[in-house]
Amino acid sequence: MRFLNILALGIAFLLCSLQMQGQATAEPGKYPVDYDTNYIKDYRHRLNLSAVSEIKANGIGILTPDDKLLIYLTNIPIPNYGFMFSYRWLNLQLTVPVPALSTTLPNRGETKSYALGLGLTTRKWHVRNFFEFFKGYYISNPEIIFPDLPPGSNIILADMASRTYYLTAHYMVNGNRYSHRSLLWQSEVQKKSAGSLFMGGTFGLKRINSPEDILPDPIEADVNEASYLHSGLNLGYAYTLVLGKYFNVSVAAIPGLNYTWAAYKTFSAQEIVFTNGLGFNMEGRFQVLFQKGNFYAGANYTGFLLTDYLKTDYPIGSAHNYLRVNVGYRFKIKPIKFLKPIWLSN
């Protein structure tokens, strides 16, 4: 009996020692588990740092009276280069053109641009807003309204500018099994296939102006400024398919209908206002992600679409497109004392 007591005491001491050792060597900073660990692995407590190459483009489409789509495009240097990182609650991506490595398409003018975005992602909510400015467009298919132009011709509108503010807020029904952070920032990994219904809304402001006619003939109205306010409801779905041990593929499609207020100014300073426009909007995402240990790489497409095509007088739509390729590594981080007040320390 005494032997059993000593054995039990020895086993308890050994287990206590192993537990203390495990605590001493455990990786610091892990968040409390608020998700199904069979489906999601969390790396937010590590510095997820990637090298990024990105192609960005903005397009404006105008439906002509004979139902042809006239397309205005930016000519931004491609690709842009930079970095993306995710640590704790902070997610950031910065890309810029590099003169020796980025180039513009010839004979299409030049586009000046800048953008700023801010978002919040929790287990149940994804909120994102961004502002983008572009100056310098070209009409990529002018032959549909000017049939005498030689094939491959472009009309350059160097002073045409657009400003867009866009806000989306979506509730994720299955956020404890589906990881939207894996699709957005790759700071989590989907271990088993899962998806979630998205419900929410959008709000957008857009202004297009030019010293030249925005709506060229045969569109009768001579408009040099167009302003839009969009507000709508969205319902969509996102799903991540896990392929084997190292790959997953994610798809998200979140369409919606929006109410549109629009105002157009003509060269004669006349303002035309529509207050009952009905439009369509869409957020779409696609990603292929590879990860092995702390190494990961991904290819990601994101697109936002706003249309007012149901208002036949001035049917204008716009699309914001981003194609990103990144290669990264997840670094273990020790506590950083001076960052604790802003919750950026393990």
Identify the band that residue 1 occupies on the pLDDT scale cut at 50, 70 and 90. very low
Q: What number is the average pLDDT over the span 105-134? A: 92
For range 162-168, the mean pLDDT: 94
Q: Which residues, in sequence order, are bridge partners of residue 61? A: 71, 317
User: What is the predicted pLDDT for the residue at 149?
Assistant: 82
- At 275, is the pLDDT very low, low, confident or very high (cuts 50, 70, 90)? low
Q: Are 306 and 204 in contact (CB under 8 A)?
A: yes
Backbone angles phi, psi at 113, to 5 degrees: -155, 155
Please tell me what DSSP assigns to residue 239: E
Domains and their CATH numbers in the chain: 39-342 (2.40.128)
Per DSSP, the three-state class of 127 is strand
Tokens representing residue 148 in the block: 């005498």
In the chain, % of residues over pLDDT 90:
61
Torsion of CA 341, 343, 344, 346, to 10 degrees: 100
Rg (CA), the chain: 26
Number of Cβ within 10 Å of residue 28's Cβ equals 11
What's the pLDDT score for residue 178?
98
Q: Which helix (H) or strand (E) holds 4?
A: helix 2-25
- CA dihedral sign, ordered 305, 306, 309, 310: positive
For 37-68, the pLDDT digits (tens) are 999 999 999 999 999 999 999 999 887 777 78
What confidence score (pLDDT) does residue 49 get? 97
State which amino acid sits at residue 104: T
pLDDT top residue among 39 and 8: 39
**Cβ 93 vs Cβ 104: under 8 Å:** no
Asked if 290 contacts 246 with a C-beta cutoff of 8 angstroms, the reply is yes
pLDDT for 294-321, tens place per residue?
999 999 999 999 887 555 566 778 899 9
Q: Tell me, what amino acid is at 117?
A: G
| Angle (CA) 119 125 128, round 5° | 25
* Predicted TM-score of the model (pTM): 0.85
- Angstrom distance (rounded) from CA 247 to CA 197: 23
pLDDT number for residue 26: 60
Torsion (CA) 68, 74, 80, 83 in degrees, nearest 10: -80
| pLDDT at residue number 203 | 94
- Please give the residue that has the higher pLDDT: either 279 or 3: 279
**Tokens encoding 295:** 């190494």
